[in-house]
Chains A and B, each alone.
Chain A
């Protein structure tokens, strides 16, 4: 497989650090208080950014899974696994920050009547089950193929989860992105964009670090086999 150009890891890590610091500073010192929710709306900047980054990770995992199925290169299987892993960790953060925000805004930690929340939970549990499937099969081509097919099917849930909020009739969960664009502007939009960029760069940096570990682990296994 030909290696394409990749941004050096230290540069990525530095960018992630700068962007996350800038995003936090903007959230607390630049963005104005929301007219409706007041100070508690500041959870929005990271909650939504993390949710969209989680979707991006799942979509990336599906893309790598597709590449694995077409090329049968074990590296794509590893890349798909790491992307899904990142997505699940970000999913935990979405659920936690969402619950905290729900408690302060709605007075409940969780509402089963909200389609958006339940569908995101379904998506999250679906990808949790990915790990159960993966680790129930011995390492090798069969495990890689099964994992790839599962990751590829999971991507269907992303547009369902994203669209649920727009299809639901009884809404408590706010709709901030419509077909006409975001329903906010000014510093709120700028702060959100910085937070979104920060989350994407941070997630990609962590993806690269975890992937480096997985590749090292894989080489180590090969070395052990040679020495055995």
Chain B
């Protein structure tokens, strides 16, 4: 089972890690926009 868990960790790190990383970047940018001047959008 150790081999299975290692592969689960690798695959989920790539896919879920990628998703979470992009979501975090998106939220930072959204927060940056919200702090900007009201007419900036």
B is bound to A? no
Binding site for A on B (CB under 8 A): none
